[in-house]
């Protein structure tokens, strides 16, 4: 078990006329190795939820455990928490601040209190891992890089802390199709090499279907359902209620059904779809 959230509720500006309930009795368990997709309409509570997981937002009610770090304790070990949970916020490139890429990426590891040598090694590795050339970019200003490169530098700053859990809030937002593809490939690579557990918030249902093994659907501050992608994306009543789109593959399957072609399977990825069609043709 890497994350265990129980009965989590959260109200912004409680006790004022601006009070807004953002989370309403949410439960979620994440195991090491999971690739979790968090989906839901804007305002459904996704960002508020994940910001609890590294204590960017402090617990109001309910409980959260990240490995053995218990956030209900009076003084949880936030340093260890932030070394464990790497958080890539929305548009993380806006948070770049230092004069060189190397200094910027070093910021997180420095706060972990590592040796100079260890920091240098991690920074070099992180920059190379995100697909940039360390020697080429280390002394450059992050501000002179392209949009996609800036986002990579921001992600490098998080993975240089070697978090066992990596959380990304809409990491492909605002990128062109090629940039999106590259960032998704990077996240997959990071899951395989450095952060075994990944949680991603996304509005891209194709990306969620292709990559995630578990999906949590948020609506109105609640988790409506947690399940494998096929359990979510073929639940018509749920999707209608939460006003959610489905992956392209599911749309095609539904169109085929209307035309009288019933595969009898529930593919969500492209390769599952092709395999289903093959079996249908042979069968």
Q: Segment contacting ligand ADP (CB under 6 A): 46-54, 176-184, 185-193, 265-273?
A: 46-54
* Shortest reach from residue 122's CB to Mg ion, in Å: 29
280 binds, among ligand ADP, Mg ion, none (CB under 5 to 8 A by kind): none
Choose, by CB under 6 A, the member of 20, 78, 261, 274 that binds ligand ADP. 20
By CB under 6 A, residue 45 contacts ligand ADP: yes
Q: Segment contacting ligand ADP (CB under 6 A): 42-50, 122-130, 149-157, 173-181?
A: 42-50
* Shortest reach from residue 45's CB to ligand ADP, in Å: 4
DSSP string, the chain: --EEEEEEEEEESTTSTT-EEEEEEEEEEE-TT-EEEEE--TTSSHHHHHHHTTTSS---EEEEEETTEETTSSS--HHHHHHHEEEE-SSGGGG--SSSHHHHHHHHHHHTT--HHHHHHHHHHHHHHTT--HHHHTTS-GGGS-HHHHHHHHHHHHHTT--SEEEEESTTTT--HHHHHHHHHHHHHHHHHT-SEEEEE-S-HHHHHHH-SEEEEEETTEEEEEE-HHHHHT-HHHHHHTT----HHHHHHHHHHHTT---SS---SHHHHHHHHHHHHH-
**Residues between 38 and 67 that touch Mg ion (CB under 5 A):** 47
Kindly give the pairing relationship between strand 165-169 and strand 85-88: parallel
Q: Segment contacting ligand ADP (CB under 6 A): 38-46, 136-144, 171-179, 240-248?
A: 38-46
Torsion of CA 94, 157, 216, 177, to 10 degrees: 60
* Shortest reach from residue 223's CB to ligand ADP, in Å: 12
40 binds, among Mg ion, ligand ADP, none (CB under 5 to 8 A by kind): ligand ADP
219 binds, among ligand ADP, Mg ion, none (CB under 5 to 8 A by kind): none
By CB under 5 A, residue 202 contacts Mg ion: no
Chain position carrying tokens 């409506």: 224
* Shortest reach from residue 283's CB to Mg ion, in Å: 43
What is the torsional sign of CA 216, 219, 220, 226? negative
By CB under 6 A, residue 54 contacts ligand ADP: no
Q: Which is nearer to ligand ADP, 197 or 219 (CB)?
A: 219
* Cβ within 8 Å of residue 276, ≥6 positions away: 263, 265, 267
By CB under 6 A, residue 84 contacts ligand ADP: no
* Shortest reach from residue 245's CB to ligand ADP, in Å: 15
* Shortest reach from residue 24's CB to ligand ADP, in Å: 10
By CB under 6 A, residue 42 contacts ligand ADP: yes
Strand partners, 217: 39, 225
Q: Which is nearer to ligand ADP, 40 or 108 (CB)?
A: 40
44 binds, among ligand ADP, Mg ion, none (CB under 5 to 8 A by kind): ligand ADP
Residues engaged in binding Mg ion (CB under 5 A): 47
Instruction: Name the site residues for ligand ADP (rule: CB under 6 A).
Output: 12-13, 20, 22, 40, 42-48
């Amino acid at each position: 078990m890497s994350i265990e959230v129980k009965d989590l509720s959260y109200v912004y500006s409680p006790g004022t006329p601006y009070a807004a309930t953002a989370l309403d009795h949410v439960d979620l368990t994440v195991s090491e190795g999971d690739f979790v997709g968090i989906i839901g309409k804007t305002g459904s509570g996704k960002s508020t939820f994940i910001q609890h997981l590294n204590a960017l937002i402090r617990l109001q009610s309910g409980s959260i455990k990240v490995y053995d770090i218990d956030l209900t304790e009076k003084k949880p070990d936030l340093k260890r928490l932030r070394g464990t949970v790497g958080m890539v916020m929305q548009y993380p490139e806006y948070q770049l601040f230092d004069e060189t890429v190397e200094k910027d990426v070093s910021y997180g590891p420095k706060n972990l209190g590592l040796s100079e040598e260890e920091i240098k090694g991690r920074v070099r590795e992180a920059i190379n891992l995100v697909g940039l050339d360390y020697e080429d970019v280390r002394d450059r200003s992050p501000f002179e890089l392209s949009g996609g490169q800036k986002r990579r530098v921001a992600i490098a700053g998080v993975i240089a802390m070697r978090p066992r859990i990596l959380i990304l809030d809409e990491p492909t937002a605002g990128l062109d199709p090629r940039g999106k593809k590259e960032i998704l490939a990077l996240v997959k690579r990071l899951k395989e090499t450095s952060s075994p557990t990944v949680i991603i918030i996304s509005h891209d249902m194709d990306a969620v279907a292709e990559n995630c093994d578990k999906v949590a659907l948020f609506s109105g501050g609640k988790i409506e359902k947690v399940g494998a992608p096929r359990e979510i994306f073929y639940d018509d009543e749920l999707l209608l209620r939460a006003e959610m789109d489905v992956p392209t593959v599911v749309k095609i399957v539904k169109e085929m059904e209307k035309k009288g072609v019933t595969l009898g399977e529930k593919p969500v990825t492209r390769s599952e779809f092709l395999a289903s069609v093959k079996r249908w043709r042979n069968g």
